[in-house]
Amino acid sequence: MQINVIGSGYVGTTLAACLADLGHDVLAIDIDEEVVAALNDGRAPIHEPGLDDLIAEHAGDRLRATTSYERVPEAEVTFLAIQTPSREDGSIDAAPLAAAAEMTGEVLDGTDDDHLVVVKSTITPPALAEVRTAVLDATGDTTGRISVATNPEFLREGTAVEDFLSPEKIVLGADEQWATERLEAVYEPLLADHDAHVVRTDPDTAMLIKYANNAFLATKISLINDIGNVCKEFGVDAYEVADAIGMDDRIGERFLRSGVGYGGSCFPKDVAALIATAENQGYTPPVLNAAIELNDHQPERMLDLLEEHVDVEGERVAVLGLAFKPGTDDTRNSRAIPIIEGLQERSAEVVGYDPVATENMREHFPDIEYADSPAEALDGAVGALVVTDWDEFATLGDAFETMAEPVVIDGRRIVAPSNDLTYEGLTW
């Protein structure tokens, strides 16, 4: 099948490369000439394990890239994977997506073939209505030959290619039978080899499934953090409690790691967008609001714990881990950001260390010190706050010996406690 993918960011590039790998002829369209050149040269414009290999294999053959919308009508399906920036109230700004939708509609105007426009970006029902209007007004179609569908993604950073090619579920949100069938045809080569659940529904439901999925996971983390904070009050290990409750299938063993909370580009943004869109309808979701409030509070608890042991004013404090999770250099909404802000408010001298995310964190905090190794960060520090569960933090051993005060506050249960350390787990 011939497929367009408009937008070559993280989701669009992964989608385009994986669809080419499934055997489709894919045209990636992006306004950024450098991104288009990289794709045509067989290079991934973003870092994601396995993506470079897929793009190198299919570029110039089943995967081509361009800045022009001219060839859009040659395909049967156009995916829109355009960024959806957050507004101040948390709702998403659908303007960039609607603009791409309008340009798609304009080139489809005057053609006779039917065409399926699929929104891949995560958007709320009102934003979807905006996109649908943009497409249909531009095509002027009243015959129903153009349909707007949704098909949310459930990709994790660091395993996006694997998640795409071995999904647990595929959610198809379409209004017409022919649109559902066309979406099924897109995934048919994948479903031939994998047992994924296929959910067929309408476009709004498909997107609310995506929001509910992320809201549920984010709330699960906040709930185990809430319980973890209670455990800490009684000197009980929240990880022992989590292991046991996870044996109940209704709870499930995954996503029960308590600590400094969730970050990243999806959970904070999607939960805020869901709340904002519900509030616009007149409903304030109390549990989702509490999930955010608790997540915002966990970094403060780490700082309070540190201050129970040392006075940080004017002292060197190490922040170990700057990425929002291990395996990525992404610092968006990383818990390290409020931790560093809190240390600065307390007039501490902050030194950050991360194996790969230093350059990204420099954009948030250009003036703090960055170390090249954990040992360098710890040297002379009165405290260390562990914010990302990078494997290397499990085996730091002697590196703590040069600390001025060996106080370690672990927000991810990764450091091995020892008799030479004043070690505090956030929830254990």
Residues with a catalytic annotation lie at 266
93 close to 84: Cβ distance less than 8 angstroms: yes
State the residue for tokens 């579920």: 169
Shortest separation between residue 271's beta carbon and ligand UDX, angstroms: 11
Query: What's at 187, amino acid-wise?
Result: Y
Is position 384 an interface residue for ligand UDX (rule: CB under 6 A)? no
Is position 325 an interface residue for ligand UDX (rule: CB under 6 A)? yes
CA dist., res. 20 & res. 4, Å (int): 11
Stretch that binds ligand UDX, among 20-28, 184-192, 254-262, 278-286 (CB under 6 A): 254-262
232 carries a ligand binding annotation: no
Shortest separation between residue 157's beta carbon and ligand UDX, angstroms: 4
Stretch that binds ligand UDX, among 105-113, 155-163, 173-181, 374-382 (CB under 6 A): 155-163
State the residue for tokens 């994924």: 196
| Both tokens assigned to 208 | 């609310």
DSSP-derived secondary structure for 203-219: HHHHHHHHHHHHHHHHH
CA dist., res. 264 & res. 326, Å (int): 11
Compute the radius of gyration of the chain from its Cα atoms. Answer: 24
Stretch that binds ligand UDX, among 110-118, 226-234, 263-271, 379-387 (CB under 6 A): 263-271
Residue selected from 263, 355, 374, 406 as contacting ligand UDX according to rule CB under 6 A: 263
Residue 198 makes CB contacts below 8 A (sequence gap 6+) with 169, 170, 172, 184, 187, 191
Is position 266 an interface residue for ligand UDX (rule: CB under 6 A)? yes
Stretch that binds ligand UDX, among 134-142, 214-222, 283-291, 340-348 (CB under 6 A): 214-222
Site size with ligand UDX, rule: CB under 6 A? 19
263 carries a ligand binding annotation: yes
420 close to 402: Cβ distance less than 8 angstroms: no
Shortest separation between residue 328's beta carbon and ligand UDX, angstroms: 7
Is position 50 an interface residue for ligand UDX (rule: CB under 6 A)? no
Shortest separation between residue 2's beta carbon and ligand UDX, angstroms: 27
Residues in the chain: 428
Stretch that binds ligand UDX, among 36-44, 69-77, 257-265, 399-407 (CB under 6 A): 257-265
Residue selected from 87, 156, 169, 194 as contacting ligand UDX according to rule CB under 6 A: 156
In DSSP terms, 2 is beta-bridged to 25
Shortest separation between residue 7's beta carbon and ligand UDX, angstroms: 16
| Both tokens assigned to 412 | 């991810």
Main-chain phi, psi angles of 8, to 5 degrees: -115, 50
Shortest separation between residue 87's beta carbon and ligand UDX, angstroms: 20
CA dist., res. 317 & res. 342, Å (int): 11
Of 168 and 176, the one with the shorter C-beta distance to ligand UDX is: 168
Compute the half-sphere exposure of residue 200: CA atoms within 13 Å on the CB side of its CA.
12
Of 190 and 348, the one with the shorter C-beta distance to ligand UDX is: 190
Is position 264 an interface residue for ligand UDX (rule: CB under 6 A)? yes
Is position 259 an interface residue for ligand UDX (rule: CB under 6 A)? yes
Residue selected from 102, 255, 289, 290 as contacting ligand UDX according to rule CB under 6 A: 255
Shortest separation between residue 51's beta carbon and ligand UDX, angstroms: 14
Binding mask 192-211 vs ligand UDX (x if CB under 6 A, - otherwise)? --------------------
CA dist., res. 421 & res. 311, Å (int): 17
CA dist., res. 135 & res. 408, Å (int): 55
CB atoms under 10 Å from CB of 64, counted, come to 19
Is position 329 an interface residue for ligand UDX (rule: CB under 6 A)? no
156 carries a ligand binding annotation: yes
Query: Which residues in 67-126 contact ligand UDX (CB under 6 A)?
Result: none
99 close to 136: Cβ distance less than 8 angstroms: no
CA dist., res. 105 & res. 23, Å (int): 26
Is position 267 an interface residue for ligand UDX (rule: CB under 6 A)? yes
CA dist., res. 229 & res. 31, Å (int): 47
Of 263 and 406, the one with the shorter C-beta distance to ligand UDX is: 263
The three-state secondary structure class of 423 is strand
CA distances from 235 to 43, 229, 384 (A): 51, 10, 21
153 carries a ligand binding annotation: no
Is position 353 an interface residue for ligand UDX (rule: CB under 6 A)? no
Write out the residues near ligand UDX by the rule CB under 6 A: 154-157, 214, 217, 221, 255-257, 259, 261-264, 266-267, 324-325
Binding residues for NAD(+): 30, 84, 122, 157, 269, 332
